[in-house]
Amino acid sequence: MRQFILIAALVFLPSVTPAYGKTSHYEAVVAEPFLELHTGPGRGFPVFHVVDKGEQIDVVKRRTDWFQVRTAKGVEGWVKLEQMAGTLDTAGRPTALDDPTADDYVGRRWEVGLQLGDLDGASVISLYGGYHFTRNLSTELRVGDISGDYSSGWIATADIVHQPFPEWRVSPYAALGTGVIHIEPAATLVQTEDRTDQVGHVGLGLRMYVTRRFMFRGEYNSYLTFTSRDDNEELDEWKAGFAFFF
């Protein structure tokens, strides 16, 4: 029941937030010879209407690289980002649009990503969020869900990440972190105790800027688990995935 409430909250929460931008749309003036209106926000949707130079349009909303606009006559359609960039605002200035580029990538502040991989024979799904203090230095919180044949669990670490060449398209980085690992043996095995231990790790990885807000990321981590038993345990992890920045 509690989970049902959680799902319901997840679905209906955004609908109670105030409706923003509903009343005051951005107004633009067509500056190129004409502006093409497509029937949908994507490739292949046909052009069904053309707005002439000098006419005013209301920009209703944006979806990825497409803008829904309404003409003075009330015709609604979708305009591509490249064409939208050729319009002016009502004061005659060019329309400034948020169009992330490689420069924005280098100067990014926040980064969120998802990775899949192998942690000493077990599968691991890992989610992380990072904040960049400078172009070289960032901090990350990482959470991983581990599932293996004989055990499952989770791992959470806080890291400091250093990227010596942030402007490279394929750029290496090094990470150093500490956290907690929790392991539960599989239920079909003879019952043994769950374990929660502290871990420390070092890692090396590569980031590759793909396009827009998107990057690819792969890394290797070497974990040292500080157990209460006689030996500390070493774990190797390989993982790769996608991330985006904002």
Partner 1 sequence: MESGLRVLLLTGLVAATTGCSLFGRDEPPMEDAGASAPVISPEVERREITTPKIDTEDFEITAYLGQISVEDFGSNFIYGARVGYHVSESLFLEGTYAMSGDVDRSSVEVLDNIDLLGDDRDYSYYDLAVGWNLLPGEVFIGRNRAFNSALYVIGGAGNTSFAGEDLFTLTFGAGYRVLATDSIALRFDVRNHMFDNDVTGEDKTTHNIEFNLGVSWFF
Q: Which residues bind partner 1 (CB under 8 A)?
A: 3-4, 7, 10-11, 14-15, 20-22, 26, 39-45, 59-68, 89, 93, 95-98, 114, 116, 122-123, 125, 127, 145, 147-149, 152, 186-188, 212-214, 242, 244
Q: How far apart are CA 193 and CA 127, in angstroms?
A: 27
Compute and round to an integer the Cα radius of gyration of the chain. 25
Place of tokens 């003409």: 71
- Which residue, 148 or 200, is less far from partner 1 as judged by CB? 148
Least distance from partner 1 to the Cβ atom of residue 142, Å = 14
Least distance from partner 1 to the Cβ atom of residue 16, Å = 12
Residue 233 dihedral angles phi and psi, to the nearest 5°:
-105, 140
Q: Which residues make Cβ contacts (< 8 Å) with residue 82, sequence separation at least 6?
A: none
- Which residue, 98 or 231, is less far from partner 1 as judged by CB? 98
Least distance from partner 1 to the Cβ atom of residue 76, Å = 8
Least distance from partner 1 to the Cβ atom of residue 99, Å = 10
- Which residue, 110 or 133, is less far from partner 1 as judged by CB? 110
Least distance from partner 1 to the Cβ atom of residue 148, Å = 8
Instruction: For residue 202, give the DSSP letter.
Output: E
- Which residue, 149 or 167, is less far from partner 1 as judged by CB? 149
- Which residue, 127 or 206, is less far from partner 1 as judged by CB? 127
Residues written for the chain: 246
CA distances from 246 to 106, 165, 231 (A): 11, 20, 43
Q: How far apart are CA 240 and CA 83, in angstroms?
A: 36
Least distance from partner 1 to the Cβ atom of residue 231, Å = 26
- Which residue, 83 or 95, is less far from partner 1 as judged by CB? 95
At residue 60's C-alpha, the angle toward residues 215 and 68, to 5°, is: 65
- Are the CB atoms for 28 and 95 separated by under 8 Å? yes
